[in-house]
Amino acid sequence: MRTILLFLVALTAATGCKKAQPTETATAPENASTTPAPNANSTQLADQAPAQAPAVPTVDTTKAFADMNTALKAKDYQKAADTLLVLQRKPLTDQQAIAVHGRMVQLQGAVAAGVASGDPNAKAAADRLRASASGN
């Protein structure tokens, strides 16, 4: 009885664990000749589709960067942080995103120096940046 049971379990495992065979092996060439060729209108529509895609609105980062630089010179770290955080939430091109990242690194360095010197404004900006980074 055990031998039969083991044989059935082994047979089930061996046949049940095979990969499924593809159902279309020789039928693909036959269907290729009966498939209608795409007409010229459908290819023209496909060519026009990328041109009709909605454009991503561009953001002018120069004013925001100028505001951030002015705030950093005045040691107004909170204003500089808020300016960059607002800019990060906007749709940016790859180049703009890289520039914003560079400015963020610059701001973080300035804020760290301000915190090290005991500036309460820098401490508040650091807390704001941490809260933003954690999603709060």
Cβ atoms of 90 and 59 closer than 8 Å: yes
Tokens of 92: 């940016």
Q: Which tens digits make up the pLDDT trace of 2-27?
A: 555 555 555 455 555 555 555 555 55
DSSP 39: P
Task: Domain ranges for the chain, please list them.
Answer: 61-133
Distance CA 69, CA 84 (A): 11
Q: Which tens digits make up the pLDDT trace of 60-80?
A: 889 989 999 999 999 999 999
Work out the burial of residue 103: count CB atoms within 10 Å of its CB; fewer than 13 is exposed, 13-18 middle, 19 or more buried. buried
Q: Which tens digits make up the pLDDT trace of 88-134?
A: 999 999 999 999 999 999 999 999 999 999 999 999 999 999 998 88
